[in-house]
Structure 1
Amino acid sequence: MTVVTKDGQLLKADFSNQIIQCDHTKLDIRIVDSNGNLLSDRPWLTTIVDTYSSCVVGFHLWIKQPGSTEVALALRHAILPKNYPEDYQLNKVWEICGPPLQYFFTDGGKDLGSKHLKAIGKKLGFKCELRDRPPEGGIVERLFGTINTQVLKDLPGYTGSNVQERPKNAEKEACLKIQDIDKILASFFCDIYNHEPYPKDPCETRFERWFIGMGRKLPEPLDERELDICLMKEAQRVVQAHGSIQFENLIYRGESLKAYRGEFVTLRYDPDHILTLYIYSCETNDNLEDFLGYAHAVNMDTHDLSIEELKALNKERSQARKEHFNYDALLALGQRKELVEERKEDKKEKRRSEQKRLRSASKKTSNVVELRKSRANVSSKKDDKLELLPERVSREELQVQKIELQPEVSGQADTQEQERHKLVVPNRKQNLKKIW
């Protein structure tokens, strides 16, 4: 019942909603997207728990690791009354709600100790405190263990909290979506966990203890507009003609925005229902933000998209546009190359035709043909008899000629050999230069 803050201050819970604790964890289960493809990471769970009764006041599931804005959205879910649709099939009414009456107790992470949460606390009248050590958040940590052992263990895609219990085919068996996990957890918190016996006093349930701690009456619900500060906040936009605003590649329009054409406004939205924006005036030093009205996406009245789905659609559209642009660029590049090659061939053809024309023009003034004709006439008028080729000689005649020529050839060879090896000894008195 007592927690220690990071500053060493002891906080004791004497009634319900006095100290609200918040923490998040990654669930031990694999899920798939809307198309049945396995997501790369496990879902994250953010829980809001009452310290006095250990009841779950609110929760929220995320695909990515939550930050300060996601914690603010989970706090908004905890403060407002829960009105779940019929497909959630809740057997009991989730009556636990209300803002932190004194403290909002979280761990020392940057996402839980941000300026955004402090601004929410300043507006709603509670103080944000950080816990000293992890054991100070035992109520939330035990809840995470209960979820793994009582809820997720028998579901397909359960990965196990330790190595010994880790199934081998968790990725193959995963078939649940994040909406299915949300329904399962909502049913568990509302119908089972909040109505189980309080651990320190089994005579009463967690809900009974919370109801007694609230003075046996339910808290008055806050105006939803007062909790818009918990919504996601985007950069400012300019109101365009006919009260339209452009956001995330969509055109939004609101009748109440026509009078603010050309002025900057602040956009807030629910990430699960992005097709409706909450429009506020810009905050100044003198005046706070004023709610101006709603802006709905044009021509999308029958649709409902989350911020993740809208970003995925914008990404696919951008990729398709980029591929189309690349195709057009490649097509234009191919046409340019064909045009260049065609012009090069035209230039080569013109050069060849010009060379052929010059050659034909030079042949008209040439007398090579006449010289060749005159030379042929001169050679034919000569009286010199042309030497004819000898007739074919038999092999026997060739052998006789070789035998007759052999003595002469040998004698010539001897004389040549003697002259070649003849030693010339110069006279010593004779000058060498003259001999050379």
Structure 2
Amino acid sequence: MIDPLPEEVDEALWDEACRRAEAIRGFLMRRSGKVAAGDMALLAAELDVSRATAFRLIKLFRAGGTVMSLVERKPGRPNGRRMLDDRREEIIRTSINRYYLNKNRPGVSQLIRDVQTTCVSVGLKPPHRRTIEARIEDIDLQKRAKRRGEAEVVKRTTAVPGVLAASRPLQIVQVDHTKADVFIVDEETRLPIGRPWLTLAMDVCTRMVTGFYLTMDAPSRLSTSLCLLHSVFDKSPWLREREIIEPWPVAGLPETLHVDNGSDFRSRAFKRGCEDAGMAINWRPPGEPRFGGHIERLIGTQMGKLHLLPGTTFSNAQELGEYDSKRHSALTLRELERYIALDIVGNYHQSIHGSLGRPPIAVWREQEGEIPLRLPQDRMRFWLTFLPEQERTLQPTGIHLFGLRYWSAALSADVGSANRRLLVKYDPRDMSRVFVRRQSGNFVEARYADLTLPSITLHEALAARRALLAKGRREVNTRTIVGTAIEQRKLVDAAVKATATARRGCPARAKTKVDDGSWGSLRGIDSSKPVAFEDTE
């Protein structure tokens, strides 16, 4: 029970408390020493209570010293007092911890049935529904929500007194992943292939998007690294390839990367690459999404834009309704990437940000000249550090990777002398070239062996390879193959039986026509003189 404030007390109770306080205050001022029984009787009569109650009221007033200490409390059970026996309390506590506080989020009714069933099975009277509900209410709301996986309740009950702030561009860059709320289609067949993953990076100071990466693969070191490479380098060539004319001036190494605790951000290669380039990594505390609030809000904004596209899944089933996302999907991965880029540079960067009160690009332009933006000293080394790799053997025809063949004149000297597999770095966004580390330790760029081939992504290369294999499987006549195998099996079985029968009936090897001279001798074939065959006609 919560103690009321003075303004919340009933008028009659307040007046009575004031009368008692005035009488007790005067009584104590007149008598500083030991109180005589007669005096206490007079006070009790004035207060219209028994002497025992008068003693209790004096004690309360001395302890509190206020009128509120004398306000009459409603009768009832003291707050926190439990009337159930220990056995039933333990059953309720165990059931709540084991069955109610879990990610399946069972309802209260199910918990009540479990508790009552357990009590009956051990011969105890089941507690009332309100008793069980009261025990649930006693549990801290945030603790209860965390155990039950109720993210919205956790967010609503979490205090956020601190603010993650940066005073200059690229001081803190946040990176995170999300599964896009839209289905995409295949480049060739235009059939739905699934929902892609989006990796976004954002500068906390200016709220500018520093880079992004879109892929069909789940979040990994690869997607994180490629997003970082997109963030650090000049984006002008990238924009030109996608026919985007709006500027995207963000480039440079961040001082600190603010990321979650995903395995992709914890990999040895990623950490070493960041350390080598002088970038610190700040991991968010586990289970504390509010520490990534800036990037979370940006992701929410971007997902909201995707809800306008054909094939959207919306945010939840209620919004989705009867809309068939797969049937309405229309954009390819490449088209969706361009759509997101257009929205970032032509809409988000140019619009007033709620926290800044200004467009992010205006804040960036204002501050970018005040600090020297740091770029990798060795651009190629930094690039190669974060690219994925494979090991391949150098063959006379070149390097074979994902069904593609690469060649460089610099590799000619290594053909035949390379007795070990070579490290090959590749960019999944552009498979027209790879970087091969020679035995000397230097990397060389190798391009398509067929220079007429266009640049494609790794996803496109793998999809084409799967399509080719599927086509080959469809062209296979399984009935013919099986029938041929059966005929071959019959032939072998008949040959084995015939040979076994002949050997059992003729122990000595029978002469052939060649040996008995009926076909003539062939020994002259190996002699120096050729054998002359007579014309019998």
Output the TM-score relative to the length of structure 1.
0.67
2:191 aligned with 1:37, yes or no?
yes
Distance 1:228 1:27, change over 3 A: same
Distance 1:197 1:252, change over 3 A: same
Q: Offset of 1:333 from its aligned partner?
A: 1.5
Q: Deviations over 1:301-341 (max 9, x none)?
A: 33222222322344455566778597785354233245368
- Inter-partner Cα distance in structure 2 for 1:281 and 1:346: 60
Distance 1:88 1:218, change over 3 A: farther
Structure 1 counterpart of 2:314, one-letter code: G
Which residue matches 2:238? 84
Q: Offset of 1:77 from its aligned partner?
A: 0.7
- Inter-partner Cα distance in structure 2 for 1:21 and 1:42: 23
Q: What does 1:6-405 align with in structure 2 at a 5 Å threshold?
A: 12-34=165-187, 35-39=189-193, 41-82=194-235, 83-84=237-238, 86=240, 88-100=242-254, 102-132=255-285, 133-149=288-304, 151-167=305-321, 168-202=323-357, 204-216=358-370, 219=373, 222=376, 224-225=379-380, 226-235=382-391, 237-241=392-396, 244-261=398-415, 262-263=417-418, 264-281=421-438, 290-317=441-468, 330-339=482-491
Q: Offset of 1:212 from its aligned partner?
A: 3.3
Structure 1 SS opposite 2:174: strand
- Inter-partner Cα distance in structure 2 for 1:27 and 1:68: 19
- Inter-partner Cα distance in structure 1 for 2:168 and 2:341: 25
Output the TM-score relative to the length of structure 2.
0.55
More strand by share: 1
- Asked if 1 retains the 8 angstrom alpha-carbon contact of 2:410 and 2:444, the reply is yes
Structure 2 SS opposite 1:164: helix
Q: Deviations over 1:363-414 (max 9, x none)?
A: xxxxxxxxxxxxxxxxxxxxxxxxxxxxxxxxxxxxxxxxxxxxxxxxxxxx
Q: Offset of 1:113 from its aligned partner?
A: 1.8
- Asked if 2 retains the 8 angstrom alpha-carbon contact of 1:17 and 1:50, the reply is yes
* Larger relative contact order (CA 8 Å, sep ≥ 6): 1
- Inter-partner Cα distance in structure 2 for 1:318 and 1:173: 28
Q: Name structure 2 gaps, 5 residues minimum.
A: 1-161, 503-537
Q: What does 1:416-435 align with in structure 2 at a 5 Å threshold?
A: none
- Inter-partner Cα distance in structure 2 for 1:234 and 1:295: 14
Bigger shift: residues 69-78 or 9-18: 9-18
- Asked if 1 retains the 8 angstrom alpha-carbon contact of 2:173 and 2:201, the reply is yes
Bigger shift: residues 82-91 or 47-56: 82-91
- Asked if 1 retains the 8 angstrom alpha-carbon contact of 2:253 and 2:374, the reply is no
Structure 1 counterpart of 2:192, one-letter code: L
Q: Offset of 1:76 from its aligned partner?
A: 0.3
Structure showing greater radius of gyration is 1
- Asked if 1 retains the 8 angstrom alpha-carbon contact of 2:261 and 2:284, the reply is yes
Q: Offset of 1:87 from its aligned partner?
A: 6.8
Distance 1:299 1:91, change over 3 A: closer
Q: Name structure 1 gaps, 5 residues minimum.
A: 1-8, 283-288, 351-436
Q: Deviations over 1:228-276 (max 9, x none)?
A: 21111112x333447x223233332111122333334321111022231
Report the number of matched residues: 328
- Inter-partner Cα distance in structure 2 for 1:249 and 1:341: 41
- Inter-partner Cα distance in structure 1 for 2:451 and 2:487: 41
Which residue matches 1:402? none
- Inter-partner Cα distance in structure 1 for 2:400 and 2:313: 42
Structure 1 counterpart of 2:389, one-letter code: K
Structure 2 counterpart of 1:139, one-letter code: H
Q: Offset of 1:59 from its aligned partner?
A: 0.4
Which residue matches 1:387? none
- Inter-partner Cα distance in structure 2 for 1:89 and 1:299: 27
Structure 2 counterpart of 1:93, one-letter code: P
- Inter-partner Cα distance in structure 1 for 2:206 and 2:407: 45
- Asked if 2 retains the 8 angstrom alpha-carbon contact of 1:28 and 1:161, the reply is yes
Q: Offset of 1:146 from its aligned partner?
A: 1.0
- Asked if 2 retains the 8 angstrom alpha-carbon contact of 1:27 and 1:43, the reply is yes
- Inter-partner Cα distance in structure 2 for 1:346 and 1:267: 57
- Inter-partner Cα distance in structure 1 for 2:369 and 2:496: 94
Structure 1 SS opposite 2:348: helix
- Asked if 1 retains the 8 angstrom alpha-carbon contact of 2:183 and 2:326, the reply is yes
Which residue matches 1:374? none
Structure 2 counterpart of 1:70, one-letter code: S
Q: Deviations over 1:24-83 (max 9, x none)?
A: 1011111111111111x3111100101111110000111121201110011001111112
- Inter-partner Cα distance in structure 1 for 2:306 and 2:449: 40
Structure 1 SS opposite 2:192: coil
- Inter-partner Cα distance in structure 2 for 1:144 and 1:267: 34
- Asked if 1 retains the 8 angstrom alpha-carbon contact of 2:265 and 2:271, the reply is no
Q: Deviations over 1:95-139 (max 9, x none)?
A: 111111x21110111112211211211221111221122101111
Distance 1:91 1:294, change over 3 A: closer
- Asked if 2 retains the 8 angstrom alpha-carbon contact of 1:90 and 1:187, the reply is yes
- Inter-partner Cα distance in structure 1 for 2:309 and 2:262: 31
- Inter-partner Cα distance in structure 2 for 1:344 and 1:260: 52
Question: Percent identity over the alignment?
Answer: 24
- Inter-partner Cα distance in structure 1 for 2:387 and 2:460: 18
Distance 1:162 1:248, change over 3 A: closer
Q: Offset of 1:345 from its aligned partner?
A: 12
